[in-house]
Amino acid sequence: MATNTQFSKETYLYWYELMQLIRQFELKAEEKYKMAGKIRGFFHAYVGQEAIAAGCMTATRPEDPFITAYRDHGLGMAKGITPNEAMAELYGKATGCAKGKGGSMHFFSKEHHFFGGHGIVGGQIGVGAGLAFAEQYRGTDNVVLCFFGDGAARQGVLHETFNLAMLWKLPVVFICENNHYAMGTSVERTSNVLDIYKLADGFEMPGDSVDGMNPETVHEAVARAVKRAREKGGPTLLEIKTYRYKGHSISDPGKYRTKEELEEYKSKDPILLTLHTIKEKGLATDEEIAAIDKRIEDVVEAAVKFAEESPFPDASEVLKDVYADPNYEFIVD
Ligand SMILES: Cc1ncc(C[n+]2csc(CCOP(=O)(O)OP(=O)(O)O)c2C)c(N)n1
Ligand SMILES: [Mg+2]
């Protein structure tokens, strides 16, 4: 699908490098989980969905908060959690982005405006609107990007949240990452409404369907929605069509879908597509691309070393940052 926006060489190379980082990080972490038994617990890979992170990053500012579900490694690193902090979190180490106590599903970085990492399907839809309310209340022009899956789109919280978000014209872009499955259940088996973006109609919220296998199309749609929200025009629902190459989680062999379906999406791979565009436009030589690939390989290897050499959290830390501080003073002006 063609876009109207002209993107710079820097943008294409940024997209390529970020998507490669996410892809190679996930593959290495999966290897450390399965082959080495170094990572335990839940683990949901973002492989296949990288173009969404890439396009969303160039369409937003660093201060714009992001919030997502448990498939959070890619978006967390895109926002600024370092590969070291990300890998250490997967290893349950004290140097992780949630001090080793959150694990795969609970990446978090207040510093980088990344608000999780949520395990309750759809829970972050309401929390995302709350973040947007906070931005509006404080009088900033920041816009929240609130990500959720096609399965989460069937949760009741979506309807209540959309209602209030439209009533108060909250600065939020709701991004449904439609990867066609909620665990092993296809979109067709969860609702009569197969075009998820149409859920916006009931609230007179603008909604759109977006190709999620290309950072260009993602950027363009998100930039439009972010502009509307920044200019106090309220929320938008974007249904971004994507695909996860891996099973739902690390323990899912994905037998509910055909090899042909998987191959069809892999043939539209966003990293290969971006590489093709870079070459076609003559934006980088093979050597320059090889240098990026090598840099990513080194960064991911270094992250593994960092995670392995980091200490586990001390036992005295077990309840710290878990419960709200009863003496916390809420500032309401
Ligand atoms: C409220 C709730 N119900 C059920 C679950 C179990 N569960 C975990 S992930 C998942 C599927 C969600 O799929 P989707 O929203 O499409 O996200 P994806 O995994 O495809 O990114 C379910 C049902 C849960 N974590 N929370
Ligand atoms: Mg899904």
- Decide if 45 is inside a domain: yes
Q: Is the CB of 181 under 6 A from ligand 1?
A: yes
Neighbouring C-beta atoms of residue 309, cutoff 10 Å:
10
Neighbouring C-beta atoms of residue 218, cutoff 10 Å:
29
What's the whole-number mean pLDDT along residues 15-43? Answer: 96
DSSP 57-70: HHTS-TTS-EE--S
What's the whole-number mean pLDDT along residues 258-287? Answer: 97
Alpha carbon of 120 to ligand 1 centroid (Å):
7
Handedness of CA 223, 225, 228, 230 (dihedral sign): negative
- Decide if 17 is inside a domain: yes
- Decide if 178 is inside a domain: yes
What's the whole-number mean pLDDT along residues 175-188? Answer: 97
- Decide if 251 is inside a domain: yes
CB 292 within 8 A of CB 237: no
Read off φ and ψ for residue 47, nearest 5 degrees.
-60, 125
Domain total in the chain: 1
- Decide if 52 is inside a domain: yes
User: For position 271, which CATH number holds?
Assistant: 3.40.50.970
Counting from 1 in the atom list of ligand 1, the atom nearest the Cα of 248 is: 19
- Decide if 139 is inside a domain: yes
What's the whole-number mean pLDDT along residues 261-283? Answer: 97
Helical axes 123-138 vs 156-167, angle rounded to 10°: 20
Counting from 1 in the atom list of ligand 1, the atom nearest the Cα of 119 is: 25
Check pLDDT > 70 for residue 332. no
Beta-strand pair 181-182/185-186 = antiparallel
Q: Which domain holds residue 238?
A: 9-317
What's the whole-number mean pLDDT along residues 277-300? Answer: 98
Residue to substitute in 148, 157, 181, 183 for testing ligand 1 pocket (most ligand atoms within 8 angstroms of CB): 183
Q: What pLDDT score was predicted for residue 331?
A: 66
Tell me which residue of 47, 10, 51, 15 sits closest to 28, measured CA to CA. 47
Q: Would the pTM count as exceeding 0.85?
A: yes
What's the whole-number mean pLDDT along residues 191-211? Answer: 97
Burial letters for 253-262: b for 16+ Cβ neighbours within 10 Å, e otherwise?
eeeeeeeeeb
